[in-house]
Amino acid sequence: MATVEAVATKGPVLEVSGITRRFGDRLAVDDVSFSIPPGEIYGLLGPNGAGKTTTIKMICGLLQADSGTVRVAGHQAGTLAAKAVVGYVPQDVALYPDLTGRENLQFLGRLFGLSGGVLDERVDEALELSDLADRAGEHLSSYSGGMQRRLNIAAGLLNHPVLLVLDEPTVGVDPQSRHAILERVQSFGQLGMAVVYTTHYMEEAERVCDRVGIIDQGRLVAEGTRRELVDRLGERDRIDLGASGDIERWAEACRALDGVDGAAVADHQVQLLVHEGRKLLPAVLEAAERTGVQVSSVDVVEPDLEAVFLHLTGTALRE
């Protein structure tokens, strides 16, 4: 099992201070700051295009920040010293189909300066971790999607990083593999590794992360533990309503109702953030009738990060 290399970090493993990055006129990341101590799994939660990937690319030294600083284990991000202690797991499987699982790991290990017995040890360790030791000699092209994902993650551990950065590692993964991946990520924190985990799945962030930073339109709008974030909602409830028809118009009508703090449309659903949800339901259904919308399902949900996101940004996480 992977262990964390001894690094003299009494303070945070990762310190992000006021980083900003533009692409032309578009402000992709706007004055984002956060820090992560050893052993903590920090989730960056936000919809697609919120700035998560740009942020982690700056952490991994793949992009320069226009302003602000990123320090990893005391080293400025992008330096060879910083890169040596970061494990990066990209969103897509960045491995070679025409190489075997072992060859892929050996190649990536060599890029981290590993060789000889140490390289062999690390490769075996990564293969064990991904449950692929018995298929190490097969070409990656013969692996299932889930197996490739597991190896993609294991490859990020070859250098025994103090900071592991995972960019939406479960996108396009079947539920079983997703479960396995999330279990592994949880174990990394227990090993003392600091982990940055980006996702737009609220359930993943709730399940895996010790703390969550909510990012929207390049800004970190809130961060804290799940409890701390949900407490921001106060007594509010979230109501998910499945419907057909002009649900945008219905959502607009709901926003005008007393007791509705926010309404957003996502995946043929209207999400409402309300005070005393059960009392407000008749008025919501009346608005549906008024706007000609057919309601197919009503679900009053316990306060969660999705509701927090709606509360903070006025939009749904998966909009």
Partner 1 sequence: MHPALAIAAKDVRQRIRDRSAIVLGIVAPLVIAALMSLAFRGAETIHLTVGVVNSDHGAAAAGLLSALRSPGLKDLVTVVPEPSEGSASAAVHAGRAGAAIIIPSGFTNSVSRSRPLPLTTLTNVNNTVAAQITSSIAQSFVAQVNADRLSVATASAAGEPSGSAAAALDKAHLSLPIRTVQSALGAKRLKTISYYGPSMAIFFLLFTISFTARSFFVERDQGNIERMLAAPLRPRSVLLGKVLSAFVFGIVSLSIIAAVTTFAFGADWGNPLAAGLLSLAMVLAVTATTALVIGVAHTQRQAEGISSFAVFGLALLGGNFVFVSVTPPIMQRLALLTPNGWALRGYTDLATTGGGLAIVGLPIAAILVYTLVVATAASVLAPRALTP
- Interface residues toward partner 1, by CB under 8 A: 57, 60-63, 80-81, 83-84, 86, 88, 90-96, 98-99, 103, 107-108, 110-113, 115, 155, 159
Taking only Cα atoms into account, the Rg of the chain, rounded to an integer number of angstroms, comes to 22
Q: Which is nearer to partner 1, 125 or 306 (CB)?
A: 125
Q: Give the three-class secondary structure for 15.
A: strand
Q: Nearest approach, Cβ of 169 to partner 1 (angstroms)?
A: 13
Q: Nearest approach, Cβ of 217 to partner 1 (angstroms)?
A: 20
Q: Which is nearer to partner 1, 90 or 303 (CB)?
A: 90
Q: Which is nearer to partner 1, 108 or 195 (CB)?
A: 108
Q: Which is nearer to partner 1, 97 or 292 (CB)?
A: 97
Kindly report the CA angle at 285 between 283 and 291, in degrees rounded to 5? 105
Q: Nearest approach, Cβ of 300 to partner 1 (angstroms)?
A: 41
Q: Nearest approach, Cβ of 180 to partner 1 (angstroms)?
A: 22
Distance CA 273, CA 2 (A): 43
Distance CA 106, CA 121 (A): 10
Distance CA 136, CA 259 (A): 58
Q: Which is nearer to partner 1, 69 or 91 (CB)?
A: 91
Q: Nearest approach, Cβ of 92 to partner 1 (angstroms)?
A: 5
- Name the H helices within the chain: 52-59, 80-84, 101-111, 116-129, 145-155, 175-190, 202-208, 226-231, 247-255, 277-290, 305-313
Distance CA 64, CA 232 (A): 34
